[in-house]
Structure 1
Amino acid sequence: PGPPPEGMGAIVSAHYQQGSGDAYIPCTAGTIKNCTSLSAAEVAEAASAPLPFNIEVGSSEPQVLIMHTHATESYELEDLGWFDPEYTCRRTDTSLNMVAVGAAIAEQLNAAGIVTLQDATLHDYPSYNGSYERSNATVRGYLEKYPSIKVVLDVHRDAIETDEGRVKAVADVNGRTAAQVMIICGADKGGNLPNFKQNLSFAAKWESAMESRFPGFTRPVLFDYRYYNQDLTTGSLLIEIGSHGNTLEEAVYSGQLVGEALAGLFTTGA
């Protein structure tokens, strides 16, 4: 694209590679970026442990819950190469925000015989503050009603800015542009995430399932002292689908790929 029109900002494409060096721990096809004080050996041991839950493929009982703490996060609707600074990157229309991306993931899982529920609550609207407290209550409600749920996925998008402009994180998958994805797994701090190593095992296997099927699709797993309600199950993770520079079409396509890889992990183990 040429330079943006007057008053508009530039959108720049970027592709993030898997990491190397002391801070990155391999997990078969992908890597884990270790931002904690845990040793690489301890992280690798946790990552290599078996999945801490058993997904019942073909069961009529829900196995997976997809929800959105920041449901109104949204994307560009066209690939123009520039953005309007007045656009807040948030929409309440669930066909244009994170709910649409989560629906693409859920569709793949349900088609594979893994009963998946999606909650479309706008936890960040009308108030952004308190979003995680509200989504925590939502998830607890589902777990109480459906104790068969083993996995809770909080689906977001990232927001990446550089001196050159707003970034769209991209990968070429099967000849189409996809929004790159990143799993975030929290580490325990003061007892807030006692099951974090089990979540990390899941994160490592999901990362590897995506990267082995679609090379270049993922960014390294971010393993850091985050909370994100990841104490509620042993399969609780947050995933970022692209950034605010990506288009909705790219993000929904990535949702399909994410769901396809996750369905493969749960049905074949890889």
Structure 2
Amino acid sequence: MADPLPERVLVTGGASGIGAAIADRCAATGYEVLVLDRQPSEHPHTVVDLADPDATAAALESALASGPITRLVNNVGAVFPAAVEDATLAEHQSAWELNVRSAVQCTAALTPSMREAGFGRIVSLSSRAALGKEMRSAYAATKSALIGLTRVWALELGEHGITANAVGPGPIATPLFEEANPPGAPRTQAIVDSVPVGRMGTPQDVAHAVDFLLDARSGFVTGQTLYVCGGMTVGSASV
């Protein structure tokens, strides 16, 4: 009997922050992890600018040359904070290219392997900001787009054993967040005070949710958005 194919997972933007926590959790679960990021990762990786469609295509071709990939985490993203009148069209385009187009491109490249295997898991990182947040026109628009795409993919791919879900993090204590919101500062404390569970989230909180959705036993959960926000979306997200 031939050895089973390795359970491979591709994590975009998996070199730091939430993406690194997801990659670590996937490795701990026993998946063979491949990271696509502009920065090197502790896990097997390809250094690539996912804002570049041609570079992304080459990286995906190389990844698939080593065998099928049946799990995908569309994590990479950028914020571009600005008021509506200050956000430039170039920033909107950059947000779209990185946050949405890369997810579409990666998903389209990997779904043939998933269809052939009769199994697949797609998890896209949205955000609580998709429900509305000041200074986040470009970001909220793209993160909302991922929710819409998730619902479409769930309908299109379900009969092939492929699920598609989104995770929407709330305020997560990452180096990037702490750079803009220093621990102990009044503004940071105000954010913490607004979280019903009384603390900031951690990258590991998000990774745990992603790990659940990637699991083979989660096959009856698809087309959903799981907010990992300490309760901040209660009263604003539909039931």
- Compute the TM-score of the two structures, normalised by the length of structure 1: 0.34
Higher RCO, 1 vs 2 (CA within 8 Å, ≥6 residues apart): 1
Q: Which has the higher strand share?
A: 1
Q: Which has the higher helix share?
A: 2
